[in-house]
Structure 1
């Protein structure tokens, strides 16, 4: 049976400040490095035979800390582009434009020069289809919180408004018995799950 393991990168320097990153190429914080390293043994138990990673350095570094320095870098797995909101603190958006921020989280608002949820989901679906069509039985994808929500929306019909942001260095698993997606694990960590993780 095919399985896809989805790992969100460890805490980044901007996650720690609760700034939206989008496709800004921000590195891991020291805490993020510890989180990713702590997840290594959990991921290893599944013995992935194909490893893909977003080409942004926070995902690549997480893959390295998980024990996969040769993960295939896939630009299609980049985070959703948030346009002019890149680098803005979430608290500022929630204070100044709370409805727009809530609608963006629900996938119904696009910041100026940003990527719509529909376009983002289509991009992630293309990357996921590559993983599903590969001969590997267990595929590890090291990526971003938005990417994981997009996969769950595409595979299970879970709209982004119905899913909390997955925490840093968390593991989500989808299985595909007879080709149909089934959620096996969501937001699992080696520490207490973070239920209010920044996007």
Structure 2
């Protein structure tokens, strides 16, 4: 059975400053582009049978610069819709909501383009994605280019845990890889935050 390779998109100005970039289509920085290009040699050695990506340009551009071909945009891989917290840092949110924690407290509604999304809805999108990916792993590795919080939800759902367990994982750094595998029928994380 192949591995599921998680690729966090390269750095953006918002990821650098800690701003929540859910649906806002923020471009990669020069450093983000360089990190994506640096992934190409390692990814070229993998027996990839499919590549899926968030349709946002920061993910699609990362896939392109990393040398991935045949990339299938998948709207279920878009980042968590942060609603009214879009563009804010955690510190800014806590100024009006002391002690706020995304995993426990969620988001507030935003505008029509960013109404906000409950964790359960993010998990349902990820479960649907994993249902499409799992059969492909019989033939080799599958790569997914996505976002930080979404990658954490995907990982814990891969492990069979509740989506809220995503809080237990370190945030994947921009432009890094994570490897999810199965051994003796049990899913596990074989590597995390690999540059």
Q: Same-fold call, TM > 0.5?
A: yes
Q: Is the 8 A contact 1:107 1:117 kept in 2?
A: no
Match of 2:67 in 1: 67
Match of 1:109 in 2: 106
Match of 2:125 among 114, 123, 138: 123
CA distance in structure 2 between the aligned counterparts of 1:154 and 1:108, rounded to whole angstroms: 19
Q: CA deviation at 1:27?
A: 1.1
Give the gaps of 5 or more residues in structure 1: 190-199
1:94–1:108 Cα change, 3 Å: closer
| Deviation beyond 4 Å, 4+ runs, structure 1 | none
Calculate the TM-score normalised by the size of structure 1: 0.86
Q: CA deviation at 1:89?
A: 3.0
1:133–1:107 Cα change, 3 Å: farther
Kindly provide the CA deviation profile for residues 126-167 of structure 1, in whole angstroms up to 9, marking residues without a partner as x: 112111122542101011111211112212227022112110
Q: CA deviation at 1:17?
A: 2.7
Q: CA deviation at 1:177?
A: 3.7
The 5 A counterparts of 1:83-162 are: 83-100=83-100, 102=101, 104=102, 106-112=103-109, 113-134=115-136, 136-156=139-159, 157=161, 159-162=165-168
Q: Is the 8 A contact 1:108 1:117 kept in 2?
A: no
More displaced stretch, 76-85 vs 86-95: 86-95
Report the count of equivalent residues. 186
CA distance in structure 2 between the aligned counterparts of 1:177 and 1:160, rounded to whole angstroms: 21
